[in-house]
Every structure is written in C-alpha cells, then in structure tokens.
Amino acid sequence: MRLSEGILLGAIALIAGFLLVTFLHSSRTSENQSSDMKTLKVTSSAFVDGGNIAARYTCDGENINPPIAIDEAPAGAKSLALIMDDPDAPSGTWVHWVKFNMPPATRMIEEGKEPAGLSGKGTRGGLSYQGPCPPSGTHHYVFKIYALDVLLNLPLGASKKEVEGAMAGHIIGQGELVGLYSRQ
C-alpha cells in the first residue's frame, strides 16, 4: 500500500509542477502580448472623445456615419476591424456597425461612406452603419478599431460575436472613441 501511495503522490506532484510551469508561461506570454500591443489613436472631426454626437449622425438626422480618423496601424497589420456599439442599451449591448478585413492602410473613414472591407451584421440585422437612437437618457457609443495580424476568414454578415471570436489572439493594436447622444 505504501508503494502505491508514493506513486500517487509523485504523480500528483508532477502534474502540479507541470500546471504551475504552464500557468507561469501563459502569464508571461499574456503580459508580453499586452505590453507589445500598440494603442491606436481614434478621433473624429465631428466630436471629441467623450463629447456629444451631432444629431446629423443619428436616427434623428441623416443617420450617416461620422468621419473617423485612425493613426497608423502597427507594422505587421494585415487588416483592421471596426465595431461600434452601445453598452447602455436596456436589452444589452446594441451593435450599430461592424466592419472587418479593412485595409491596414486605412487612415480615414469618410463621413457618410462605408470603408473598404466586409460588413458584419448589427443588432437590427443591417450590414451598414446604424446611428445612435437611444430610447431614453444619454447613451455611450463606442467606436473600437482593431489592428489584426490576419485577414478574418468570415463571410459577409458575420456577427459581432463571430468577429470578436475570430480576432482573439490576433489583435496587435487597438483604440477607441466614445461619443454621447440623448434624444431631445
């Protein structure tokens, strides 16, 4: 009985050691990836970060996308992705705009124009920009830009969840711009 207990304890120690080494390696890898990730500067000439979005870009106006400027994508970027959503929606995060496989050289998304790339599906099922249209109160609209080291192997109309899943482990830079809107 003592021999089998010794073997069992030895096996447990070996497994515990392996798990510890694996954990420490993955922690260092995660730290290195996050410290190497470039922060992209995302701006708009239509509103400042944390500022109000003009009605022109909402369901109360022309419902066109605002101009979005993106600083230079990091070396090695193969594509950019854009996700605009409203985390304040009463039914959960509302997705307003999804674009992926945008050229990494994209520096400006012009007002009222869809950028090159593939369109993903928003919460309402549309494949293009859907401006802010909060039911009540002031909502935050987050424009997130991701620089990726791959082209995403997804079809036209992919969901935000599918895009985020495909991006996992491939983000080499990111930035965001937040705008506020409340209906009068």
Ordered per-residue pLDDT tens for the chain, 184 residues = 565 565 655 545 545 444 444 444 443 334 334 457 899 999 999 999 999 999 999 999 999 999 999 998 899 999 999 999 999 999 999 999 999 999 999 999 999 999 999 999 999 999 999 999 999 999 999 999 999 999 999 999 999 999 999 999 999 999 999 999 999 7
User: What DSSP string runs through 24-81?
Assistant: HHHHHHHHHHHHHPEEPPEE-SS--TTEEPPGGGSTTTT--PPPEEE-PPPTT--EEE
Phi, psi of 23 (to 5 degrees): -60, -45
Quote the pTM value.
Answer: 0.80
Task: Say which amino acid occupies 125.
Answer: G
Q: What share of the chain is helix, strand, coil (3-state, %, to 5)?
A: 25, 30, 45
